Each structure stands twice: as structure tokens, then as C-alpha cells.
Amino acid sequence: MGEKKTKIVKTIKIDADLCNGCRACEVICSAFHATPKYSSNNPARSRIRVIRDPLRDVYVPVYAGEYTASECMGRDKYVIDGKEYDECAFCRASCPSRDLFKEPDSGLPLKCDMCEDDPPQEEPLCVQWCITDALTYEEREEEVEEEVEQEEMEIGLEALADKFGLDKIMDTVARMSMKD
């Protein structure tokens, strides 16, 4: 069994009921990630986007997650207060099916990096700029299994080779890979 170690998990809690659609989060996120920093702002470059339906007073902030090449075969359909939203509207992924969370010039995927900075920001900037408290920052500690070090794996292999002989192990590996 590997050692346990502590990892800090950072999350932003979204209370969509408190969001008023002001888009300050989009403005500050895109400004923070501009080169040079704060030199421009363009919500199309933001890593948080607010899905808006002003007539119904529905605003849902969504953060950019990982890039995926999958273009899902099954998609979600959301109905909120009787309004049907676009398929994929609340998905966090940058994906080939839509233009959201892509750098407008290069098409490269955008992903929230929790405003990584040196020195670190006290809180992510979108949280600091959200005056309605729709966004709140939370940190929690989680225990995770330490990954098996490369060195330990090598020792493991050596022990196996000592016990069964290297030829036998190579033979078994060759037979296993032929099954595919």
C-alpha cells in the first residue's frame, strides 16, 4: 500500500440564483489572462461564461474545464422555468462541437486555472469581482494515495525477475500481448 498524502482541492461554488448576469467575472478573467496582463478584456477569451436568459432572469455561470475531442453522442437537454436551453449549454468542456471556451484567434482550448499567479491571488479573481456572492471560493483537504514511485516499480520488477527468471516474465508478457 502506498503512503497517504494530502492534496488541496480548490472549488468555486456557484449559486445561480444570486447571479444577476453582470458579466464582471467574464471581464476580469479575460483581462487577467491577456498578454500583457490586464492590457485588454474580451469575454470571448474568458474561462468563465454566463449562459443568459435576461427575459426570464436566468443566468448560469459555467467554468471552462478540460478539452475533449469526444463530441458526445448523447447530449443533455435542460429545461429551467419552462425554457429549453441549447444542447451542451451548461457543459464545461472545450470541444470541437462548439465555439465556447476557445481562444478566438488560435482556436486553442481555454481552461480555468484558478487564476494561478505569483505571488498567489488571495481568491480567484472572478470570485473577488462577483459582488452578488454568486461565486464563492472553497478549499478542502483530501487524502490521496501517493503514486507508486518509478523506483519502487523497478524494484518490484527486479524482485519478480529474481523469483521467476527474466525469460519467463518476457515470455508471459509476449503471450499476453498476442491475445489482443
Q: How far apart are CA 47 and CA 168, in angstroms?
A: 52
> Binding to ligand SF4 (CB under 6 A): which residues in 121-150?
124-126, 129-130, 132, 134-135
* Ranges assigned E (strand) in the chain: 4-14, 48-53, 58-63, 79-80, 83-84, 135-145
Regarding 101 and contact with ligand SF4 (CB under 6 A), the answer is no
Q: How far apart are CA 105 and CA 44, in angstroms?
A: 10
Regarding 113 and contact with ligand SF4 (CB under 6 A), the answer is yes
Question: Which one among 29, 62, 89, 91 touches ligand SF4, defined by CB under 6 A?
Answer: 29
Could you tell me if 60 and 48 are in contact, meaning their C-beta atoms sit under 8 angstroms apart? no
Q: How far apart are CA 85 and CA 23, in angstroms?
A: 19
Regarding 110 and contact with ligand SF4 (CB under 6 A), the answer is no
> In which residue are the cell numbers 474545464 written?
65
Q: Which is nearer to ligand SF4, 48 or 91 (CB)?
A: 48
Question: Which one among 48, 51, 89, 93 touches ligand SF4, defined by CB under 6 A?
Answer: 48
In the complex, the residues that contact ligand SF4 under the rule CB under 6 A are 19-25, 28-29, 32, 47-48, 50, 59, 61, 63, 112-115, 124-126, 129-130, 132, 134-135
